């Protein structure tokens, strides 16, 4: 079976592994990114170390090297811009490593890469059109439509977190008003809990945070929800309605079969998933909404490596 090298570049670690055509991970290792050194060459050297590790574990040449990186990446594997990596402007990543190793190299934005991985091997396996969203401090996304990743004219399509859902809503850090990230980004989920506490509502979240609102995280709100806490449950329902409203629009636009939700924040918060599905069914056009499923991402903690390797393989 053919194998590929998967490289997942993050702000803190570069993860490397060998994957096979079925999306299995055969070996893996992580290396510090060393972005804090402020040197592009040091980070490139770390990527090379990660690739060397994987090469050393192979007994035959791989199908190629797949790289998932933050930032905007074009079809030629040039990273236009990656805000958290030093001096990553117009960096020809693909050229650098394909010349060095004389192997096919595919470079893709990390969220697009994960969308492709989920489509080939994860929750999206067997489907044709899927929307992926990752919930965290920011809200990212990717779309596979009719078996192809959507990139757009400047390779920046699917900034899903910055779709406005309330045109007179609060201003988002991107400058627009009422973006979905302004309601379901990590800090804004936490904000709901702080507000409830300030209003004097009784909630287990406050005890879990040991009486300090700055300790509140989405994870604590999930723990409180699991214990049946009303305030926590209402927060996740509200997040679900917000995402459901967003997806009702996207369902009308793209007619997907599946919506995949990733990022650690919403792990096992069933009420949020149920609310999203219910809201889509209430709000989207009936014929389009009927068969849409909303599920959690399924590639787990190695998603970045598996998905980077997946860039070398088609369905
Ligand atoms: Zn925005």
Residue 86 has pLDDT above 80, yes or no: yes
> What mean pLDDT is predicted for residues 267-282?
95
What's the gap in Å between 160 CA and the centre of ligand 1? Answer: 9
> What mean pLDDT is predicted for residues 206-229?
96
For the chain, what are the domain ranges? 3-119+301-310, 126-298
What's the gap in Å between 51 CA and the centre of ligand 1? Answer: 35
Cα 309 to its chain centre, rounded Å, is: 16
Q: What stretches of the chain show up as alpha helix (H) in DSSP? A: 40-56, 93-101, 110-120, 181-184, 186-198, 204-208, 218-226, 230-254, 270-283, 286-289, 303-310
Q: Token pair of 309, please?
A: 């390797």
| Residue with more model confidence, 266 or 211 | 211
Q: Looking at the chain, how many residues does it have?
A: 315
The pLDDT of residue 255: 96
Residue 297 has pLDDT above 80, yes or no: yes
What's the gap in Å between 124 CA and the centre of ligand 1? Answer: 27
Residue 315 has pLDDT above 80, yes or no: no
The pLDDT of residue 83: 80
pLDDT in tens, 171-184: 999 999 999 999 99
The pLDDT of residue 260: 97
> What mean pLDDT is predicted for residues 202-231?
96
The pLDDT of residue 212: 95
Q: What CATH superfamily classification does 126-298 receive?
A: ATPase, nucleotide binding domain (3.30.420.40)
Tell me the CA distances in angstroms from 112 to 30, 140, 159, one per residue in order. 21, 9, 11
What's the gap in Å between 175 CA and the centre of ligand 1? Answer: 6
The pLDDT of residue 267: 81
Residue 8 has pLDDT above 90, yes or no: yes
The pLDDT of residue 156: 84
Residue 160 has pLDDT above 90, yes or no: yes
Domain 3-119+301-310 is of which CATH architecture?
A: 2-Layer Sandwich (3.30)
The pLDDT of residue 266: 81
Helix (H) or strand (E) holding 15: strand 13-20
Q: What percent of the chain has pLDDT over 70?
A: 100
Please report which confidence band the pLDDT of residue 249 belongs to, taking 50, 70 and 90 as the band edges: very high
The pLDDT of residue 191: 97
> Any bridge partners for residue 3, and if so which?
20
Residue 84 has pLDDT above 90, yes or no: no
DSSP conformation letters of 44-63: HHHHHHHHHHHHHT-SS--S
Q: Token pair of 45, please?
A: 């050297």
Q: Token pair of 61, please?
A: 């040449």
> What mean pLDDT is predicted for residues 36-45?
96
What's the gap in Å between 285 CA and the centre of ligand 1? Answer: 26
The pLDDT of residue 265: 84
- Residue 54, number of CB atoms within 10 A of its CB: 25
pLDDT in tens, 133-153: 999 999 999 999 999 999 998
Q: What percent of the chain has pLDDT over 90?
A: 91
What's the gap in Å between 206 CA and the centre of ligand 1? Answer: 30
**For the whole model, what pTM was predicted?**
0.92
The pLDDT of residue 206: 97
What's the gap in Å between 173 CA and the centre of ligand 1? Answer: 6
What's the gap in Å between 213 CA and the centre of ligand 1? Answer: 25
Residue 292 has pLDDT above 90, yes or no: yes
């Amino acid at each position: 079976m053919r194998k590929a090298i998967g490289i997942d570049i993050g702000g803190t670690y570069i993860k490397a592994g060998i994957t096979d055509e079925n999306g299995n991970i055969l070996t893996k290792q992580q290396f510090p990114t060393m972005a804090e050194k402020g040197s592009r060459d040091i980070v490139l050297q770390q990527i090379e170390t990660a690739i060397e590790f994987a090469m050393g574990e192979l007994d035959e040449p791989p199908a190629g090297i797949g790289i998932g990186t933050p930032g905007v990446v074009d079809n030629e594997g040039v990273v236009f811009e990656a805000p958290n990596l030093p001096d990553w402007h117009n960096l020809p990543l693909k050229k650098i490593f394909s010349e060095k190793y004389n192997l096919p190299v595919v470079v893709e934005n990390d969220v697009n890469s994960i969308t492709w991985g989920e489509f080939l091997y994860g929750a999206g396996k067997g489907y044709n059109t899927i929307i992926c969203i990752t919930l965290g401090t920011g809200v990212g996304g990717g779309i596979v439509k009719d078996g192809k990743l959507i990139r757009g004219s400047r390779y920046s399509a699917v900034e899903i977190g910055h779709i406005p859902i309330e045109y007179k809503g609060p201003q988002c850090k991107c400058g627009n008003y009422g973006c979905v990230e302004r309601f379901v980004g990590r800090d804004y989920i936490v904000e709901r809990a702080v507000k409830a506490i300030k209003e004097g509502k009784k909630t287990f979240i406050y005890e879990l945070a040991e009486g300090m609102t700055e300790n509140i995280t989405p994870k604590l709100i999930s723990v409180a929800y699991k214990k049946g806490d009303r305030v926590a449950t209402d927060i996740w329902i509200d997040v679900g309605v917000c995402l459901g409203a967003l997806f009702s629009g996207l369902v009308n636009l793209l007619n997907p079969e599946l919506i995949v939700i990733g990022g650690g924040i919403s792990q096992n918060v069933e009420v949020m998933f149920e609310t999203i599905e219910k809201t889509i069914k209430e709000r989207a056009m009936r014929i389009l909404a009927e068969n849409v499923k909303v599920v959690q991402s399924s590639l787990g903690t190695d998603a970045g490596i598996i998905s980077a390797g997946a860039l070398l393989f088609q369905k």
